[in-house]
Amino acid sequence: MSLAWRELVRRPGRFAVAGSALTLLVVLLLLLGGLLDGLYLGSTGAIRAQRADVFVYSATARDSIVRSRIEPDLRARIEEVDGVASTGGLGVALLGATVEGDDDVLDVAVTGYELAPEGVPEPPAPGTAYADDRLRADGVRAGDVLEVGPARVPVEVVDFVSDTSYLQQGALWVEPDTWRAIQSESRPDAAVADGVFQVVLVVAEDGVEAGELADRIDEATGGATSSLTRDEAVLSLPGIRQQNSVFTALIGVTLFVAGLVAALFFALVTLERTALYATLKALGAPSGRLALGVVFQSVVVALGAVVLGGAVTFALEQVIPDAVPVQVEPSRVVTSSVLVLVTAAVGALVSLRRIVRIDPATAIS
């Protein structure tokens, strides 16, 4: 092992090409991961924050919150289902808003709610809202009055909450009637009557499994509803599944390329070292030990690439415009790093066969 280490230290230039290529791939990997996380977290915050176990949509809505409508009598039937502890209505309107006296249009998700989500207090007074941090980043301050939608309905921001965006728009948490008023004024074609919500959130009784309760509710309403667990509701948001699969595929391909780089580079290095390895084998070095040295070097080079790539990504994150939803999460950095190291080790192991086949007798001839 010290042989492998000394070569790294004394001939760092040899490993520079592979190191740089791996560094770039690490940056790519972290940016892809950051983009995936940024898109996912920024799209799903308002839903992930909900404490409810089951989301009930109208059957015709095809699991879309904005298309769904639940009338009061349907809600009453839901509440009677065995295993339902409590329910709360939810409605979302995606609109533009301006701070009074300012021209910049901000994207907001006006969200009327009854059950307080994680990190959000009980519904505020009519005409006021808790705003998501995303709006604070856009320059909104507590006490500002936002004019929402084409009808410029005034809503005063009383406080801020975090990680509750909806499809990259900052949520404005309001009490249900404020939401209904804004929805009806802004979208007369999709107006909602008193007591109507888009979806009904259901809290299950202790010990009742969410998926089972969802099935039971849909049965009890005679197919008038389509119920999802919270995780399913998150994945049913527009584009989430597609985003996840596209980015997972891209990340997979990037890792594969990283493995290929390590495999090719160290296969080449091994070829170059044929005479050296023959000599060492003649002196009694087992093949396994030599291969371990190669794996060690590959992992060290990858480790350098992870550190350097991490630093580059961190620097890039500072200069990437806020409009690009890149969010590099520590957990993502850790898993990506581990995956790169493992990939580098596996890539280097490809050279094991070649090392085993080097004939020590060639050292002497």
Partner 1 sequence: MPALVMEGVRKVYRSGSEEVVALDHADLVVGDDEMVTLLGPSGSGKTTLLSIAGGLLTPTEGRVVVGDQVVSDLDPRQLTAFRQRQVGFVFQSVNLVPFLTARENLTVVGELAGRPRRETGEQADRLLEELGLSHRAGNLATELSGGERQRVAIGRALMNDPKLVLVDEPTSALDTKMGEAVMELLRNEITGRGIAAVVVTHDTRMTHYTDRTVEIVDGRLQA
Which spans of this chain sit near partner 1 (rule: CB under 8 A)? Answer: 2-3, 6-7, 10-11, 275-276, 279-286, 289, 360-361, 363-365
Helix ranges restricted to H, the chain:
2-10, 16-48, 72-79, 133-137, 176-186, 210-220, 230-235, 240-272, 274-282, 287-319, 330-349, 352-357
Q: Which residue, 116 or 363, is less far from partner 1 as judged by CB?
A: 363
Minimum CB–partner distance for residue 360 and partner 1 (Å): 5
Q: Which residue, 11 or 67, is less far from partner 1 as judged by CB?
A: 11
185 burial via Cβ count (<10 Å: 0-12, 13-18, 19+): middle
Task: Count CB neighbours of 119 within 10 A.
Answer: 12
Minimum CB–partner distance for residue 276 and partner 1 (Å): 6
**If you search the block for the tokens 């940024």, which residue do you land on?**
38
Minimum CB–partner distance for residue 291 and partner 1 (Å): 14
CA torsion 232-238-240-245 (nearest 10°) is 110
Residue 31 CA to residue 27 CA, distance in Å, equals 6
Q: Which residue, 7 or 159, is less far from partner 1 as judged by CB?
A: 7
Confirm if 314 and 328 have CB atoms less than 8 A apart: yes
CA torsion 223-210-170-92 (nearest 10°) is 20
Q: Which residue, 105 or 361, is less far from partner 1 as judged by CB?
A: 361
Minimum CB–partner distance for residue 359 and partner 1 (Å): 8
CA torsion 203-208-210-215 (nearest 10°) is -110
Residue 300 CA to chain centroid, in angstroms?
A: 29
Minimum CB–partner distance for residue 2 and partner 1 (Å): 6
Q: Which residue, 319 or 364, is less far from partner 1 as judged by CB?
A: 364
φ/ψ (deg, to 5) at 159: -165, 175
Joined tokens for residue 200: 């009904």
φ/ψ (deg, to 5) at 242: -65, -45
Residue 58 CA to residue 171 CA, distance in Å, equals 23
Q: Which residue, 77 or 289, is less far from partner 1 as judged by CB?
A: 289
Confirm if 57 and 232 have CB atoms less than 8 A apart: no
Longest dimension (CA), the chain: 95
Minimum CB–partner distance for residue 281 and partner 1 (Å): 7
Minimum CB–partner distance for residue 21 and partner 1 (Å): 22
Minimum CB–partner distance for residue 357 and partner 1 (Å): 11
Q: Which residue, 323 or 364, is less far from partner 1 as judged by CB?
A: 364
Minimum CB–partner distance for residue 275 and partner 1 (Å): 7
Q: Which residue, 49 or 290, is less far from partner 1 as judged by CB?
A: 290
Confirm if 275 and 39 have CB atoms less than 8 A apart: no
Residue 241 CA to chain centroid, in angstroms?
A: 11
Q: Which residue, 18 or 90, is less far from partner 1 as judged by CB?
A: 18
